[in-house]
């Protein structure tokens, strides 16, 4: 373990997870836009192994909207899926294509599915980890903490983390990039 590369705040958060039953919920939509913007991805094999060193990971769900086969992004999505499948349980649905003003708009969001899976699993967990910087999950924090008495942690790119989530338990993936990161060209 490369503790010397981890800042004290992140170390403290990781230490608080010791012996805790943890479920991890990864929001591809939020992560994808950060990947593109910052030029590197999370290696989910390394990421899972890293978290398993600190807690009892019960599962890692990865929520992904799948483009149609004739979509230019389809082949890249398939390659990405093959890379992450050994490390996560993929939860997917089809991307929607909607005509808007003579153009085709793509629509795909898995926030509701993530929230429902948290609600379905929270009684079996001590800690919920949401891998996303999306402020839409702030109310989920209120539910987990105040209604269920559980801890919730948000993990995301520092530059992409909503200010509301910065007020909660959170960890910036950038700060452990050398442990869990992967250059995008390798996917």
Residue 152 in any domain: the answer is yes
Q: Which two structure tokens, joined as six digits, stand for 178? A: 């050398």
Any idea what the CATH number is for the domain that residue 45 is in? 3.40.50.1010
Whole-number Cα distances in Å, 4 to 42, 138, 156, 160, 170: 20, 31, 21, 25, 19
pLDDT bin (cut points 50, 70, 90) of residue 5 is low
Q: Which two structure tokens, joined as six digits, stand for 106? A: 């793509």
Residue 1 in any domain: the answer is no
| Enclosing domain of residue 133 | 22-186
Cα–Cα dist 121/128, whole Å: 9
Residue 147 in any domain: the answer is yes
As a dihedral over the C-alpha atoms of residue 73, residue 78, residue 79, residue 83, rounded to 10 degrees, the angle is: 130
Residue 139 in any domain: the answer is yes
Residue 126 in any domain: the answer is yes
Question: Which pLDDT score, from 0 to 100, does residue 7 have?
Answer: 81
Residue 17 in any domain: the answer is no
Q: Which two structure tokens, joined as six digits, stand for 153? A: 């942690």
Number of domains in the chain: 1
Question: Which pLDDT score, from 0 to 100, does residue 3 have?
Answer: 47
Residue 14 in any domain: the answer is no
**pTM value > 0.85:** yes
Whole-number Cα distances in Å, 112 to 25, 83, 101: 12, 25, 27
pLDDT bin (cut points 50, 70, 90) of residue 56 is very high
Residue 8 in any domain: the answer is no
């Amino acid at each position: 373990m490369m503790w010397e590369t981890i800042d004290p705040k992140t170390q403290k958060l990781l230490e608080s997870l010791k012996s805790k039953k943890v479920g991890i919920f990864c929001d591809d939509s939020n992560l994808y836009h950060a990947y593109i913007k910052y030029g590197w991805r999370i290696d989910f094999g390394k990421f899972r192994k890293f978290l398993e060193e600190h807690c009892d990971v019960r599962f890692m769900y990865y929520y992904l909207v799948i483009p149609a086969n004739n979509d230019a992004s389809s082949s890249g999505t398939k390659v990405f899926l093959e890379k992450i499948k050994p490390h996560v349980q993929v939860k997917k649905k089809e991307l929607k294509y909607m005509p808007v003003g003579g153009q085709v708009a793509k629509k795909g969001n898995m926030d509701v599915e993530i929230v429902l899976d948290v609600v379905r699993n929270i009684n079996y967990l001590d800690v919920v980890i949401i891998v996303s910087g999306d402020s839409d999950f702030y109310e989920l924090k209120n539910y987990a903490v105040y209604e269920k008495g559980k801890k919730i942690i948000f993990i995301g790119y520092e530059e992409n983390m909503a200010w509301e989530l910065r007020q909660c338990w959170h960890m910036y993936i950038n700060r452990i990039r050398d442990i869990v990161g992967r250059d995008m060209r390798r996917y």
